[in-house]
Amino acid sequence: MIDEHAIATGVLSLSAPGTHFGDDAAARRLALRVNEAGAEVVKDRPDRFGLFASVPLPDVDGALDAIAHAFDLLRADGVILLTNYRGVYLGAPELDPVFGELDRRGALVLVHPAEPPAPVVPGLAPPVVDFLLDTTRAAVNLVLHGVPSR
């Protein structure tokens, strides 16, 4: 398919809903499995694929471990973050250790919309309206909060 559409490189990433479904340990295991599977594809075809690793947020310690593993062992090209994790938006102070580590590494970050922690508009799929709202809220929160200083 990528040849048919003249796509030179694809970057593998896991979008919403991510890896965390309420259990930190399960989220850590799932993020590890997803990242290692992606790294295998990249290893087999580095000319065609890259990897943005998943992190098990809102588990900050798990996310820090996943970042280290992804960059130090799997040689990921970046990470994918959702706009919010169960209502914790990017830029929230509790995520400062994650952003500090990503900043320290000069990491590339892909931000992907998630469903906001509010009722969806009846009759409309979340990507139609809610993803735009959620992305805007995360972006504004990041601008207002900024990246923690080293």
pLDDT at position 71 is 98
Sheet bearing 10-12, strands edge to edge: 10-12, 49-54, 78-82, 109-112
List domains and CATH numbers for the chain: 10-145 (3.20.20.140)
Contacts of 40 (CB under 8 A, 6+ apart): none
59-69 burial, b for 16+ CB within 10 Å, e for fewer? bbebbbbbbeb
C-alpha distances in Å from residue 81, one per residue of 43, 44, 53, 91: 23, 25, 9, 11
pLDDT at position 148 is 62
Looking at every residue in the chain, the average pLDDT score rounds to: 93
Question: Hey, how many other C-beta atoms are within 10 angstroms of the C-beta on 122?
Answer: 5
Percent of the chain with pLDDT over 90: 81
pLDDT at position 23 is 97
Q: Checking phi first, is residue 147 left (phi over 0); if not, alpha (psi -120 to 50) or beta?
A: beta
Provide the residue-wise pLDDT of the chain in tens; the chain has 150 residues. 888 999 999 999 999 999 999 999 999 999 999 999 999 999 999 999 999 999 999 999 999 999 999 999 999 999 999 999 999 999 999 999 999 999 999 999 999 999 888 888 888 888 888 888 899 999 999 999 876 655
Measured in whole angstroms, how far is the alpha carbon of residue 103 from the centre of its chain? 15
The pair of three-digit structure tokens given for residue 57, joined into one six-digit string: 């947020």
This prediction's pTM? 0.90
